[in-house]
Structure 1
């Protein structure tokens, strides 16, 4: 994930209407937060002086942001986010597992840390485990009836053992669907599709999941496709949002005509204030009279939008649309020509974003 491309990811996620997104292999240094038009991005990675590998992150919609706690990192492969809902707290774990080429010690260490993280959740909390596990789930619900539904894909022994020990279930195996909506990654050489990304929850809470499926058309500039789960939950708001008063355009203060209008308007408003009230109410009337008189005379300050994406939307969106069309064409028919077209459209979009 590139810091300059976060705005394009923000637009794509808003098109899908998802509330919380977990990101893996971000390859961004340190811990940081960026707020875009629709989502706030958090990422947890290695220190800046170390190599930029692994890393996890979250993209939380600005609507339920007040219901979410600040994400915390366990290490550069595992992070945790808590979300408050009316049904209870959701303990979400974001995981990026070692690949098949990693040593057995690295894999065992990862799953031991992951299991310790899951067990930190209270018994009444809803645990949702999401991420890129680089594992494939077998079509064997007879051997693992509590962990797998009737619609599994392939094999991943360590992941199945983790689910069995902690009473977890893989939600993507609970729902029927077309095979291409269950696979998230295509092998670059064999062109074979695999399901490596999963959404996992406690067995007692699986009824709250309405569906889990893949979206191949989501263009998030990743070789993995977007996995989306729909839940029957409602966020809980703990902080009431207080609307800030609009700012007065102070650049017009030197205009003598406007100053005269301001004094006249202020005298009228002060004369209309009811003095037989409490000090708090009297101050509220006085402050609102001063602000209203100033806004009427000098006008309100126009908000300057610092979002570079909004300013360049007309230039960026055509390039992103061409990139998305080339990606879908390559996914439907993987040939050298379609790959070259997709690579060219992707490079063009990257050059346009950097302008």
Structure 2
């Protein structure tokens, strides 16, 4: 099939035939060149809520370019009640959005040279799809999606990082692109980065306490150092290292000879929402013939209670200043207090001087003017009452 980006060349997308897939012509949820925000898809549901757990999956399935594989992944997604599932190595080419016969929606981004390698995708439940604001295919290793919430908008960035054997140039290019994507995300969003990072961060979190917990596995490698540096620069936390689980529930990849297990698939979240993460662990029961395990992260939005009584703003009755006697009394009171402040030594700190000035002004206003009393305005105006009287007379 062919998909046309507004203002860009036609991209050919090759996907195997599957009865469970049907393509949707509605690409309004993707904000592209030449498309305004008003034309973008309007979300009808809220994704992240304080009283509801958000389940996010992260899985390298090895390939989606096989008949029936998409249906298998969707089945596992439903079994584990995942709202969002980030998929690495989908191996689809081009980019696009499709809908499965079971109701799930998939947005994907792959190579544009027709080679079925790498590729990333995000599978959405019906609920998550209705909260989708926009999605962007960056390249065959990075895709983003943004979701609406009544409380805080959520940005999901799914990635597939170069392996340990890749060249330094390839690794530097990947993290430069990822850095560019993170920098343009709205600063108020909850940002979650999922994917196969191909990075071991280890169990030792000395001098890295703000980036990771003490429940990682193994020993950090070169890719792990790059990931830790990226998290430190952008204030992200590696959630898989925060919770004490058995080793089998932390290791995400098993070597073909079954002798080596590593924790290389990670979920990152910006630090200010660290307390909202309830758990991150491997779900060993999920199986789609991959050497990677499904990683599930549970998030329950935790909001900070606002103390309305703290530092209340005093509203003084400044309308009294229109009377000459009260205005003169206020001026005299203020001058007397300022005269006392002038006698204070010049060695006093500037902050202390400001506090003294602020206290003098507020105390004078409180004693002379008093606070403004809120008067309840009548909800029926004078003109309305006149009409009521006129109707009564006519009656």
Per the TM alignment, residue 103 of structure 1 is displaced from its structure 2 partner at its CA by: 0.4
Per the TM alignment, residue 73 of structure 1 is displaced from its structure 2 partner at its CA by: 1.1
Partner Cα separation in structure 1 for residue 84 and residue 299 of structure 2: 11
Unmatched 5+ residue regions in structure 1? 235-355
Among 171, 175, 181, the alignment partner of 1:111 is 175
Partner Cα separation in structure 1 for residue 160 and residue 146 of structure 2: 18
Contact 1:96 1:131 in 2 (8 A): yes
Among 223, 228, 231, the alignment partner of 1:160 is 228
Per the TM alignment, residue 223 of structure 1 is displaced from its structure 2 partner at its CA by: 1.8
Render the CA deviation track for 1:197-219: whole Å, top value 9, x for unaligned. 00001111011111000011101
Q: Please list every run of at least 4 consecutive aligned residues from structure 1 whose deviation after the TM superposition is greater than 4 angstroms.
A: none
Partner Cα separation in structure 1 for residue 128 and residue 141 of structure 2: 25
Partner Cα separation in structure 1 for residue 258 and residue 278 of structure 2: 33
Per the TM alignment, residue 93 of structure 1 is displaced from its structure 2 partner at its CA by: 0.8
What are the residue-to-residue correspondences of 1:199-348 with 2, within 5 Å? 199-233=267-301
User: What's the TM-score once normalised by structure 2's chain length?
Assistant: 0.57
Q: Which residue of 2 aligns with 1:193?
A: 261
Q: Which residue of 2 aligns with 1:293?
A: none
Q: Which moved more, 1:114-123 or 1:17-26?
A: 114-123
Among 27, 45, 51, the alignment partner of 2:115 is 51
Contact 1:90 1:126 in 2 (8 A): yes
Per the TM alignment, residue 35 of structure 1 is displaced from its structure 2 partner at its CA by: 1.6
Partner Cα separation in structure 2 for residue 63 and residue 123 of structure 1: 25
Q: CA RMSD in A?
A: 1.6
Unmatched 5+ residue regions in structure 2? 1-63, 303-395
Larger Rg: 2
Q: Which residue of 1 aligns with 2:37?
A: none
Per the TM alignment, residue 66 of structure 1 is displaced from its structure 2 partner at its CA by: 1.1
Partner Cα separation in structure 2 for residue 21 and residue 13 of structure 1: 7
Render the CA deviation track for 1:94-141: whole Å, top value 9, x for unaligned. 110001111001101111111111111122111101100100012222
Q: Which residue of 2 aligns with 1:2?
A: 65
Q: What is the DSSP-based 3-state SS (H/G/I as helix, E as strand, rest coil) of the residue aligned with 2:280?
A: strand
Change (3 A) 1:210 1:232: same
Greater fraction of residues in helix: 1
User: What's the TM-score once normalised by structure 1's chain length?
Assistant: 0.63
The answer on 1:79 being equivalent to 2:147 is no
The answer on 1:13 being equivalent to 2:81 is no
Q: Which residue of 1 aligns with 2:347?
A: none
Q: Which residue of 1 aligns with 2:350?
A: none
Per the TM alignment, residue 50 of structure 1 is displaced from its structure 2 partner at its CA by: 2.7
Contact 1:54 1:77 in 2 (8 A): yes
